[in-house]
Amino acid sequence: MNNRIWIALFLLLFIGACTKSVVEHFIGFERPENFPAPHYHFETNPVTKEGFELGRKLFYDPILSRNNTISCGTCHIQSAAFTHHGHDVSHGIDDKLGTRNSPAIMNLAWGKSFFWDGGVFDLDLQPIAPITNEVEMDEKIANVIAKLQRSPEYPNLFARAFGSPEINTERLMKALSQFMVMLISSDSKYDQVMRGEGAVFTSDEQEGYELFKTHCGGCHKEPLFTDESFRDNGIGIGPFNDEGRYQITLNENDRYKFKVPSLRNLRYTAPYMHDGRFITLEGVLEHYSHRIKNTANLDPLLIRNGEPGLKLGTDEQKKIIAFLNTLNDEKFVTNKRFSAP
């Protein structure tokens, strides 16, 4: 063979390798154009294909629970935007009931705190709580690690993700974080309108959007539809006397305050509120319009002309709901990439 043929062969191989790498190219974390910079610390936990896939496998693996029956995915179901559709509170291990509505897992890379009371300030520390909670997964992290070490596949998967087969708290948490930060919901009609991708609001949706900005946007800040703050929205004390943010800060001004939840994907996430007390959006809108309870820490934004309640008429409520329905992201709840492997 002469030199030219050799060169040609090398070039072919090179191009072949290139093509292959393009086919397998992993799309890591990408900020949607209409979203702000994320809050998560990617510099200490960059998302890789191997880490993401390991996190996904762990997320759906009941090995994380005491008796290997409950996975993260048990109460965070993709078709329900990673909440527990139809459950006011979730049933965890041995069918034990919690006291709060399972929050939707979406856009957590922008989350500054986690849980309804914001008690956890770093996503990497979040999974410890449900794994060890006695009504959720009731397992010790040391046991989880021992089980993963004994498994035929996990040491190898950890080695691929982190460079060695060692399994420790940090790697377990960081793999789960890599999966969770990738759960981005940013392809609703609202997003398409905002990004100028050709979608157009109907007149009801547009009017609803204007009403939303006037009455709701103060707390449900666009584009994530939460300002991450803690507020008393006047729903009154629930059946478990859950004191919310107060239990974290012991500050009287935080009693009965809860995290402002995102309003994305409401079609999939009913029931609503921290204890899942409202079954329908109509019920929620009626609450904000006429049923606000004037509790000690009631949010001032819910007081109009000295009276609690937004006093929205039926037509206004309907239009706001029409707008809220533009926040549903079907691609997010059906994306195979986020499904159990």
Partner 1 sequence: MNTYIRLALAATLFLVSCSKDKDQPNETATSDLSIEFDNIAGDMNLHLNTGTYYNASGESFTVTTLMYYISNISLKRADGSVYTVPQEDSYFLIQEDVAESRFAKVKVPEGDYTSLQFIVGVDSLRSTMDISERKGVLDPAQNRGMYWEWNSGYIFFKMEGTSPAAPGDNKFRYHIGFFGGYSSPTLNNIRTVNIDLTQGGIARVRSGRTSNIHLMVDVSKVFSGVHSFRIEDQPTAMFNTFTATVADNLPSMFRHDHTEN
Give the footprint of partner 1 on this chain (CB under 8 A): 41, 44, 112-113, 115, 117-122, 124-125, 128-129, 131-133, 141-142, 145, 168-170, 173-174, 245, 247-251, 254
Rounded least distance, CB 100 to partner 1, Å: 11
Nearest-approach distance from CB 251 to partner 1, in angstroms:
7
Q: Is the Cβ of residue 153 or residue 170 nearer to partner 1 in the bound state?
A: 170
User: ∠ at Cα 314 (312, 320), nearest 5°?
Assistant: 70
Q: Looking at beta carbons only, is 19 or 253 nearer to partner 1? A: 253
1 or 142: CB nearest partner 1: 142
Residue 98 contacts residue 90 (beta carbons within 8 Å): yes
Select from 207, 169, 215 the least CA-distant residue to 315: 207
* Cβ 246 vs Cβ 213: under 8 Å: no
Q: How far is CA 256 from the centre of its chain?
A: 22
Pick between residue 229 and residue 335 the one whose CB is nearest to partner 1. Answer: 229
- Token pair 């012991």: residue: 250
Residue number with CB closer to partner 1 (151 or 229): 229
How far apart are CB 116 and partner 1 at their closest, in Å? 11
Q: CA-CA distances (angstroms) from residue 65 to 17, 74, 78, 131, 138?
A: 42, 11, 19, 6, 6
Q: Which is nearer to partner 1, 6 or 121 (CB)?
A: 121
In the complex, the smallest distance separating the C-beta of residue 228 from partner 1, rounded to whole angstroms, is 9
Distance from C-alpha of 155 to C-alpha of 290, rounded to nearest angstrom: 56
Q: Please, what is the minimum distance in Å from the beta carbon of residue 243 to partner 1?
A: 11
First to last CA, the chain: 47
What minimum distance in Å lies between the beta carbon of 42 and partner 1? 12
CB of 245 to partner 1, least distance (A): 8
Whose tokens are 């478990």? That residue is 240
Q: By C-beta, is 141 or 199 nearer to partner 1? A: 141
Query: Would you say 18 or 146 has its CB closer to partner 1?
Result: 146
CA distance 207 to 319: 6
CA distance 228 to 37: 15
Minimum CB separation of residue 309 from partner 1 in Å reads: 28
Residues in the chain: 341
DSSP collapsed to 3 states, 19-39: HHHHHCCCCCCCCCCCCCCCC
- Sole residue written with tokens 């294909």: 49
Q: Which of 199, 178, 177, 180 is nearest to 188 (CA)?
A: 199
